[in-house]
């Protein structure tokens, strides 16, 4: 009985940790505060956001992503002469050694295309990020309300009802 309780506790602790990618057994990439927005019923696209930290000694690159909700591309958005332009980054996004990259609204982000169904508040969205060196990192994106600029409490030390990996607290 004591062994079962220890195994359950270990599983709960492991499940609450941020996603880690390993390179030669050393954690290199952490994905934190992963989230997306709910979409209206007819929407065909949605954005995905997160903070990516590269604790490794070498630069890495986010080269792709996948999700059962639709096709995923890496995009950037920028303002030129008062006009917002979004474009696909087919070569991915650099994640510098010892650095942090924020995927956020109005900037670099994931783009979910050809949605299979509307994204709804409640269940998290599973996403697998593909890094050039760190490999695959699976995350679950918290779903914020339609039009949210960020989930309540994200971006501060108090994450409200969010864990650091973007998952809703139990």
State pLDDT tens for residues 84-97: 899 999 999 999 99
In a 10 Å sphere around its CB, with 0-12 CB exposed, 13-18 middle and 19+ buried, how is residue 158 labelled?
Answer: exposed
State pLDDT tens for residues 22-47: 333 337 899 999 999 999 999 999 99
The answer for residues whose C-beta is within 8 angstroms of residue 36's C-beta and 6 or more apart is: 46, 47, 48, 49, 112, 119, 125, 141, 142, 143, 144
- Tell which wins on pLDDT, 94 or 78: 94
In a domain, 66, yes or no: yes
CATH number for position 24: 2.60.40.1890
pTM: 0.74
Please provide residue 144's backbone torsions phi and psi, each rounded to the nearest 5 degrees. Answer: -85, 165
In a domain, 136, yes or no: yes
Place of tokens 């760190």: 134
Q: What pLDDT score does 19 carry?
A: 42
In a domain, 170, yes or no: no
Q: What is the DSSP annotation of 152-164?
A: TTTTSS--TTB-T
In which domain, by residue range, is 114 found?
19-144
Structural domain count, the chain:
1
Contact between residue 139 and residue 129 where contact means Cβ atoms under 8 Å apart = yes
């Amino acid at each position: 009985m004591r062994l079962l309780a220890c195994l359950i506790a270990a599983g709960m602790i492991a499940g609450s940790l941020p996603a880690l990618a390993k390179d030669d057994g050393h954690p290199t990439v952490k994905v934190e505060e992963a989230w997306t927005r709910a979409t209206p019923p007819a929407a065909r696209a949605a954005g995905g956001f997160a903070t990516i930290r590269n604790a490794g000694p070498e630069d890495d690159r986010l080269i792709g992503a996948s999700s059962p909700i639709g096709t995923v591309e890496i995009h950037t958005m920028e303002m030129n002469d008062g006009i917002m332009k979004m474009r696909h980054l087919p070569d991915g996004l650099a994640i510098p050694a010892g650095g942090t990259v924020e995927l956020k609204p109005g900037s670099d982000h994931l783009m979910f295309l050809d949605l299979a169904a509307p994204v709804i508040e409640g269940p998290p969205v599973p996403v697998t990020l593909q890094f050039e060196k760190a490999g695959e990192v699976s995350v679950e994106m918290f779903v914020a309300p339609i039009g949210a600029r960020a989930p309540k409490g994200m971006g501060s030390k108090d994450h409200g009802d969010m864990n650091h990996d973007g998952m809703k607290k139990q």
